[in-house]
Amino acid sequence: MNIGIHAGISGGLVNAAHEAERKGCTTFQIFTKSPQQWAVSDLVQASVDLFKEAVKKYKISPVVVHTSYLLNLASLSEELYKKSIDSFATEIRRAEAIGADYITAHIGSCGECVKQEALKRILEGIQEAVTLSKKEKINILFENSAKIKSPGGEFKDLAFLVKQLGKRYGITLDTCHAFAAGYDFREQKLLNSCINEVEKIAGSGKIKVVHLNDSKGDLGSGLDRHEHLGKGLLGKEGLRNVVNHPSLKNQAFILETPKEPEGSDAENMGYAKKLSIK
């Protein structure tokens, strides 16, 4: 099982790689900047080099970059929409510069807008951001939303974008978000139906990363609150179904579970590995 955590970059990018190795990760995810601020400082080449060397030394793959939470490519505000496009382009360049394999993004929300119109706007925003990012080739993934009526709340929304955009693009499946949006993965047939829908629209192998999180909120609640594995309402059966699904089990599993109490990352990783059938 290829599993890891979201690691911190406090004190330098390389510290995230050290943390991942120390905790026994074979993959990991980071932010390259503060996820709650638009401001961004330039990457320091010496820091980037140390990060790349550590990742190579520890043989950790894939490295996933998560974009800022502020991005909203569905926004009806022209100012926020343009700001999101520019920021996304910057984040794509940064992820490429540090040698990451994937960059994953939330596609945004727009209140009471018509979803199909929002998806068209998102599609245009992504295309513009990629053009602005010049010739970068990093694989770009889109993450499902916890709210079923939001763009990306249904997996067919993400599959539509991937189909329109092409081979470079894929999906990050967040188990907490899916449960909150009403996908009951505790039922194997419902998980199968979800995966089949994605593959029918976008093709096989498009779900590249799984954010493996339990859920504090109930099924269909729209509540994006992650819980320790096995201690939430998605629970053991839902998590087991996900980690052993033929289309998912060989992909990268990233934990975004609570960090407290101390030792929680190791406990959650151990729990996931016990669910995985060899």
- What is the set of domains in the chain, with CATH numbers? 2-275 (3.20.20.150)
Residue 252: CB partners within 8 Å, gap ≥ 6?
Answer: 2, 3, 4, 27, 62, 64, 102, 208, 209, 210
**Residue 125: what pLDDT?**
98
**Residue 209: what pLDDT?**
99
Residue 223, both tokens: 């509540």
**Residue 87: what pLDDT?**
98
**Residue 277: what pLDDT?**
82
Q: Identify whether the C-beta of residue 43 lies closer than 8 Å to the C-beta of residue 97.
A: yes
d(CA 152, CA 106): 8
Across the beta sheet with 2-5, the strand order is 2-5, 252-255, 207-211, 169-174, 139-143, 102-106, 63-66, 28-30
Residue 145: CB partners within 8 Å, gap ≥ 6?
Answer: 106, 107, 109, 151, 152, 153, 177, 181
**Residue 18: what pLDDT?**
98
**Residue 266: what pLDDT?**
98
d(CA 156, CA 177): 15
**Residue 134: what pLDDT?**
85
Find where tokens 């699904």 sit.
245
**Residue 66: what pLDDT?**
99
**Residue 278: what pLDDT?**
64
d(CA 140, CA 138): 6
Residues of the chain below pLDDT 70: 278
Say if pTM beats, i.e. exceeds, 0.95.
yes
